[in-house]
Amino acid sequence: MANPDLAEPDDLDALLAEVRDCRVCAADLPLGPRPVLRAAATARILLIGQAPGTKVHASGMPWTDASGDRLREWLDLESDRFYDETRVAIVPMGFCYPGVLPRGGDKPPRPECAPLWHGRVMAALPKVALTVVIGQYAQAWYLGDRKRRTLTDTVAAWRDYLPRFFAIPHPSWRTLGWQRRNPWFDAELLPELRRRVHTLLEAG
């Protein structure tokens, strides 16, 4: 039997088509399956968030909501550069809208997505030089034991994950108060995040 670790990476276009046809957890999705992700084999930056909300489910484009506006502000990227999949890949932990919690707020990403798809997608993105792990679910999966006890502790330790990873919170409205309580985020983290993102985009 062939060693799977030595297998050639999937053709990315074929893999993305396979992902978008996925129906593994369709019975558990309140709005049905609509996997949302963007990627090209030339991408230098990878953004890994949580899962689509209802607006993203409706549009079929990632980050087309207020959180996306805030994320683009944090990255200092206009929409045309943010959505240039030849430079910026966008791969959430869960590809479909997972529904809402009883007390409000979206449910966590479906647990099927990451083990089923993420390894194959990452293998098909060989040029990625910086992966921005956005929120606790992406950080738990990609930082593993290096993740700190709380999200604040993890993000405060952002320098420890460089140069491969950059840890930031999810840019929801709940983060506004968090930003005010953690002024180092605006003063230290965001300037370095923007510098690294722009350096990679301008490098070609």
Spell out where the chain has E strands.
Answer: 45-48, 88-90, 130-134, 165-168
**In whole angstroms, what is the distance from residue 191 CA to residue 85 CA?**
23
Question: Above pLDDT 90, what percent of the chain?
Answer: 91
Angle made by CA atoms 31, 108, 149, in degrees to the nearest 5: 170
pLDDT of residue 3: 47
Amino acid at 155: V
- What pLDDT, on the 0 to 100 scale, is given for residue 8? 73
17: tokens are 């088509």
pLDDT grade for 1, boundaries at 50, 70 and 90: very low
- Per the document, the length of the chain is 204
134-164: per-residue pLDDT in tens? 999 999 999 999 999 999 999 999 999 999 9
Q: Which residue, 75, 69, 70, 96, is CA-closest to 87?
A: 75
Tokens of 72: 């683009």
Q: What domains does the chain contain, in order, with CATH numbers?
A: 11-203 (3.40.470.10)
Residue 109 · residue 94 · CB < 8 Å: yes
Helix (H) or strand (E) holding 31: none
Tens of pLDDT along 4-46?
454 577 899 999 999 999 999 999 999 999 999 999 999 999 9
